[in-house]
């Protein structure tokens, strides 16, 4: 029960429900920075009327924060005019030593001035990582977990974001958090169901309802509800993770295996999402990888003919890793050579790392063949 609760809290961005100093719709305070570690400086005032900012709070000791780093790197590559500023309250030397490992970071890293920025945004408390989108008017348009930033950011950039609706939802999340902290699950459920009538496609409310049902020990109902929502949103990663973890908690392993394959088929036209799914299935700890569905997802993604070259390199790197893990090192070498060729031709800094991986695969293959290494 503890694991599923932690999962849901993460999915629902419960850390965004903390008592922030700022609310959606308010003016964002100017940043007070003691030291710029990477790609600085920047001020909100200079970009007002011209730029959109993402202000994130993080720490070198926060594992979820570190997982955000490659995501922000890709986001910055996609939106060149976007300014991303990640702020730590740690000592400058600590942050500098940590960031030295990540030479290719393309967004701004800063150290707060005696927690002044942190306090002005968060009242000095609240979980990290947390991100604030500041629109061109200098207004806080969205608050949430950095990994959930893509859709609201895209809507803000394209001018399709409703800031009043966002502010209203934040107020509702606060009320629900208070009720959940008081274990008033029935009252919470009533609010969530009322909101789903107005916003039936809101996956955060969908996840909240599922969490509450599961917590009320209505596990079968929670599972059926998540399944019905997935039919309406067949390629939604949040809902996929939610249902997969419920099936795992309920020890419905055969159903879970079938669910993996169904979701992969639903995503077959989206190679980027398939690659994201593959990496989730591989996990981070030894022995926890779901190799069969991960292999199918990676091969399906790599076979997509519409991939541009850098996408093929990114997905190919994942596929090569799975081939290596499943003992097909010759295939891993073949795919990794393609990855290296693309990255070298496009003069990408990641080429050096990709080449090291290729050499590692080649050494492993030789050892497997009983050959001596030079």
CA–CA distance, 281 with 129 (Å, rounded to integer): 23
Q: What angle do CA 108, 283, 349 make, to 5 degrees?
A: 40
User: Average pLDDT over the chain, rounded to whole?
Assistant: 87
CA–CA distance, 349 with 343 (Å, rounded to integer): 8
CA–CA distance, 110 with 113 (Å, rounded to integer): 9
Q: Please tell me the predicted confidence (pLDDT) of residue 28.
A: 95
Q: Please tell me the predicted confidence (pLDDT) of residue 318.
A: 94
Q: Please tell me the predicted confidence (pLDDT) of residue 373.
A: 57
Domains parsed from the chain with CATH numbers:
15-160 (3.40.30.10), 219-368 (1.25.40.10)
Q: What angle do CA 8, 9, 15 make, to 5 degrees?
A: 155
Neighbour order of strands in the sheet with 108-112: 33-38, 108-112, 83-88, 53-58, 130-134, 140-144
pLDDT tens over the chain, length 374 residues: 444 444 444 444 444 444 556 888 899 999 999 999 999 899 999 999 999 999 999 999 998 898 889 889 889 988 989 999 999 999 999 999 999 988 788 999 999 999 999 999 987 556 789 999 999 999 999 988 888 888 889 999 999 888 888 888 878 887 887 888 888 999 999 999 999 998 887 877 888 898 899 889 999 999 999 889 888 888 787 788 888 888 988 899 899 999 999 999 988 888 888 988 898 888 767 777 899 999 999 999 999 988 888 889 999 999 999 999 999 999 999 999 999 999 998 877 788 899 999 999 999 999 988 776 55
| Phi, psi of 328, deg, nearest 5 | -100, 65
């Amino acid at each position: 029960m503890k694991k599923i609760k932690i999962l849901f809290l993460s999915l629902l961005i419960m850390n965004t429900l903390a008592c922030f100093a700022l609310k959606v719709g308010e003016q964002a305070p100017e940043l007070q920075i003691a030291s710029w570690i990477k790609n600085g400086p920047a001020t909100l005032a200079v970009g007002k009327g011209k730029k959109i900012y993402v202000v994130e709070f993080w720490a070198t000791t926060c594992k979820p924060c570190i997982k955000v780093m490659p995501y922000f790197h890709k986001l910055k590559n996609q939106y060149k005019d976007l300014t991303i500023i990640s702020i730590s309250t740690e000592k400058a030397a600590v942050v500098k030593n940590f960031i030295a490992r990540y030479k290719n970071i393309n967004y701004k890293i800063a150290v707060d001035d005696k927690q002044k920025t942190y306090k002005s945004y968060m009242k000095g408390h609240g979980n990290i990582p947390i991100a604030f989108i500041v629109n061109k008017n200098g207004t806080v348009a969205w608050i949430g977990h950095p990994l959930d930033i893509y859709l609201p950011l895209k809507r803000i950039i394209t001018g399709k974001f409703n800031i009043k609706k966002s502010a209203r939802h934040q107020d509702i999340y606060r009320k629900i958090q208070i009720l959940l902290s008081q274990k008033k699950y029935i009252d919470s459920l009533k609010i969530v169901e009322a909101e789903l009538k107005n916003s039936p496609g809101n996956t955060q409310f969908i996840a909240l309802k599922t969490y509450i049902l599961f917590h009320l020990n209505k596990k079968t109902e929670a599972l059926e509800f998540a399944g019905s929502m997935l039919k309406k949103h067949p390629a939604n990663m949040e809902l996929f993770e939610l249902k997969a973890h419920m099936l795992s908690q309920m020890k419905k392993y055969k159903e879970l295996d079938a669910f993996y394959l169904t979701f992969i088929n639903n995503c077959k036209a989206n190679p980027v999402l398939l690659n994201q799914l593959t990496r989730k299935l591989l996990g981070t700890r030894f022995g926890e990888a779901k190799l069969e569905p991960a292999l199918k997802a990676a091969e399906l993604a790599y076979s997509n003919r519409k991939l541009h070259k850098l996408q093929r390199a990114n997905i190919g790197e994942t596929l090569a890793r799975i081939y290596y893990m499943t003992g097909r090192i010759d295939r891993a070498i073949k795919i990794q050579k393609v990855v290296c060729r693309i990255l070298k031709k496009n003069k990408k800094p990641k080429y050096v790392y990709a080449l090291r991986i290729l050499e590692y695969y080649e050494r492993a293959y030789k050892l497997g063949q009983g050959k001596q290494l030079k």
